[in-house]
């Protein structure tokens, strides 16, 4: 295993980003549009595409480069099989809403399928079965309950007793005729169509706040403003809370992906374990061969301790199941969970109907993000949509949520306090090249990273969102916040919100 480990790529790079993407200008002057969309991932781009097609004047702004958020780091299975969910949805929301959830995902899959066909988009799209399997008795009974839920909801699925790998499963459940694709090849074309229909994309343009009024204004870090009739926060984590208390009712989980050429041929299909830690498998074509994507090892952001350990665990699994021939890629990413597992899509609060959000996809954003875009378009065009109530952001008071609400916030409070009190005795001078750690400088806690050339980068470890202490993630060379998942580069620039301001740089 140690031999293999030395072959693992040193720096994380997602396979999907190995693609030519145009560069778009920064927004440099105050602007007025019908709809401003913040965030260039699957949600923002699909919403922009749909609205521009209707003749709406849309500006899409992106803090960095488009398609470099979670959408650029996904596994890109397009499926309504969102792990084990339907049995739980039936007991929490009832059969009718559980079925609606399924239909929203199936509609999204059909939307992607037909958009690809109509526009002849080359994006390695293929039909695949989605399979969830259990290795333990405990999870076998959960899979069985899920199979019962499929029956009740009329989902096209079947129970299986083996999968084509050396994994002894107790049982499994297939959802038929799902799909997979190359998400960036697909979305690159949607951006093109968006621009052809009159839409504008601005990169390196960060939204920091919203000014209320009859027409909301997006305030940018540059000091400029966008006035609009509707604002869509498709920024993954809403970049502005507007008293919606989203930071208290959502949490963020990271997961890890290896892109490998394997000794054994990949048999087709998309697999996920029901047992934890999660193991997920799919393949994607690369130069006439298969690149196998092995993913899993989810944990709350900033709480992964040794992040390289997660890659090594995936490596052991891949070696056992398929044999590793060559390492091609490794990367990791994070997604947002709501407390009841259903995304929030719609007006940010009952009082503010012109600001819309879409978030909380629980690692199923290819379908959830697409479903969100269709729903957001209908909100803005004032059209009926049967999914409005299911995804409403005001469904806050149901009891299972409240219990977890308390525990999520207890967890945040624990990190706020622990981070502040922790004493880390390392001195910056003790760091090796390419090592990061929390250190003490003049009696103060600071985040230090010594780069490959021996240059030291010091930052204030206080997260600029709500003040938790960030922690070093060696796997990605980033500072990660355990409270709501903000992530910063080693010298403090924001990689992932909700934070919008960089960590303060410190001098030695």
Ligand X SMILES: Cc1cc2nc3c(=O)[nH]c(=O)nc-3n(C[C@H](O)[C@H](O)[C@H](O)COP(=O)(O)OP(=O)(O)OC[C@H]3O[C@@H](n4cnc5c(N)ncnc54)[C@H](O)[C@@H]3O)c2cc1C
Q: Which residues bind ligand X (CB under 6 A)?
A: 38-44, 61-64, 68-71, 74-77, 206-207, 234-236, 239, 255, 257, 295, 333-335, 361, 363-367, 369, 497, 500
**466, 477, 493, 506: residue in contact with ligand FES (rule CB under 6 A):** 466
Exposed/middle/buried for residue 388 (C-beta within 10 Å: 0-12, 13-18, 19+)? middle
Does position 385 interact with ligand FES (CB under 6 A)? The reply is no
User: Cα separation of 219 and 226, whole Å?
Assistant: 7
Nearest to ligand FES of 206, 284 (CB atom):
206
Nearest to ligand FES of 75, 359 (CB atom):
359
Does position 225 interact with ligand FES (CB under 6 A)? The reply is no
User: Cα separation of 288 and 283, whole Å?
Assistant: 12
Residue nearest to ligand X (CB): 365
Query: Which residue stretch of 48-56, 274-282, 308-316, 484-492 sits at the interface with ligand FES (rule: CB under 6 A)?
Result: 484-492
31-32 and 225-227 strand pairing: parallel
- The number of CA neighbours under 13 Å toward the Cβ of 176 is 8
Nearest to ligand X of 173, 446 (CB atom):
173
Is residue 405 within 8 Å of 418, Cβ to Cβ?
no
Nearest to ligand FES of 63, 481 (CB atom):
481
Does position 149 interact with ligand FES (CB under 6 A)? The reply is no
**89, 179, 468, 503: residue in contact with ligand FES (rule CB under 6 A):** 468
Does position 236 interact with ligand FES (CB under 6 A)? The reply is no
Angle between helices 137-153 and 86-93 (to 10 degrees): 70
- Smallest separation, CB 370 to ligand FES (Å): 27
Minimal CA–CA distance to 218: which of 57, 228, 243, 496?
Answer: 228
- Smallest separation, CB 443 to ligand FES (Å): 24
**254, 330, 377, 465: residue in contact with ligand FES (rule CB under 6 A):** 465
- 499 interface partner picked from ligand FES, ligand X, none, CB below 5 to 8 A per type: ligand FES
Does position 496 interact with ligand FES (CB under 6 A)? The reply is no
Is residue 221 within 8 Å of 208, Cβ to Cβ?
yes
Segment 240-259, which members bind ligand FES (CB under 6 A)? 247
Which DSSP letter does residue 345 get? Answer: E
- Smallest separation, CB 493 to ligand FES (Å): 15
Instruction: Give Rg (Cα) of the chain.
Output: 22
How are the residues of the chain apportioned to helix, strand and coil, as percentages rounded to the nearest 5?
30, 30, 40
User: Cα separation of 39 and 234, whole Å?
Assistant: 5
- 31 interface partner picked from ligand X, ligand FES, none, CB below 5 to 8 A per type: none
Prior bond to 277 cis, omega within 30? yes
Using CB under 6 A as the criterion, which residues of the chain lie in contact with ligand FES when the complex forms?
247, 463, 465-468, 481, 483-486, 498-499
């Amino acid at each position: 295993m140690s031999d293999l480990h030395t072959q693992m790529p040193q720096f994380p790079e997602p396979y999907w980003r190995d693609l030519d993407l145009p560069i778009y200008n920064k927004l440099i002057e105050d602007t007025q549009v019908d709809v401003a969309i913040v965030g260039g991932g699957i949600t923002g781009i699909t919403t922009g595409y749909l609205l521009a097609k209707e003749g709406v004047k849309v500006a899409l702004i992106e803090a960095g480069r488009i398609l470099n958020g979670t959408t650029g780091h996904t596994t890109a299975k397009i499926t309504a099989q969102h792990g084990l969910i339907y049995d739980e949805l039936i007991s929490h929301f009832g059969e009718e809403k559980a079925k609606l959830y399924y239909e929203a995902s199936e509609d999204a899959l059909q939307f992607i399928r037909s958009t690809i066909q109509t526009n002849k988009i080359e994006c390695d799209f293929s039909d695949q079965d989605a399979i969830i399997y259990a290795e333990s008795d405990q999870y076998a009974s959960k899979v069985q309950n899920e199979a019962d839920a499929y029956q009740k909801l009329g989902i096209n699925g079947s129970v299986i007793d083996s999968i084509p790998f050396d994994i002894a499963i107790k049982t499994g459940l297939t959802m038929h005729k799902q799909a997979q694709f190359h998400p960036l090849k697909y979305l690159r074309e949607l951006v093109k169509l968006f621009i052809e229909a009159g839409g504008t994309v601005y990169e390196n343009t960060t939204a920091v706040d919203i000014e209320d009024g009859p027409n909301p204004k997006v305030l940018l870090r540059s000091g400029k403003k966008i006035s609009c009739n509707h604002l869509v926060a498709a920024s993954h984590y809403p970049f502005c809370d507007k008293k919606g208390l989203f930071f208290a009712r959502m949490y963020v989980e990271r997961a890890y992906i290896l892109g490998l050429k394997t000794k054994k041929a990949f048999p087709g299909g998309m697999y996920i374990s029901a047992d934890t830690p999660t193991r997920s498998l799919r393949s994607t074509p690369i130069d006439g061969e298969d690149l196998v994507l092995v993913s899993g090892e989810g944990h709350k952001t900033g709480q992964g301790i040794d992040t390289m350990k997660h890659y090594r665990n995936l490596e052991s699994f891949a070696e056992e199941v398929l044999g590793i021939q060559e390492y091609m890629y490794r990367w990791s990413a994070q997604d947002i969970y709501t407390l009841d597992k259903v995304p929030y899509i719609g007006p940010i609060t009952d009082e503010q109907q012109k600001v819309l959000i879409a978030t909380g996809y629980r690692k199923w954003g290819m379908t959830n993000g697409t479903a969100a875009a269709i729903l957001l378009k209908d909100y803005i065009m004032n059209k009926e949509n049967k999914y409005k109530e299911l995804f409403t952001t005001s469904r806050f008071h149901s009891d299972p949520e409240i219990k977890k609400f308390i525990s999520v916030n207890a967890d945040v409070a624990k990190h706020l306090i622990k981070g502040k009190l922790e004493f880390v005795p390392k001195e910056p001078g003790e760091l090796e090249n390419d090592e990061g750690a929390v250190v003490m400088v003049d009696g103060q806690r600071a985040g230090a990273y010594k780069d490959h050339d021996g240059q030291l980068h010091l930052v204030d470890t206080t997260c600029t969102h709500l003040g938790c202490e960030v922690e070093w993630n060696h796997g990605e060379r980033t500072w990660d916040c355990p409270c709501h998942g903000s992530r910063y580069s080693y010298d403090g620039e924001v990689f992932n919100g909700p934070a919008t301001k960089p960590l303060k740089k410190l001098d030695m």
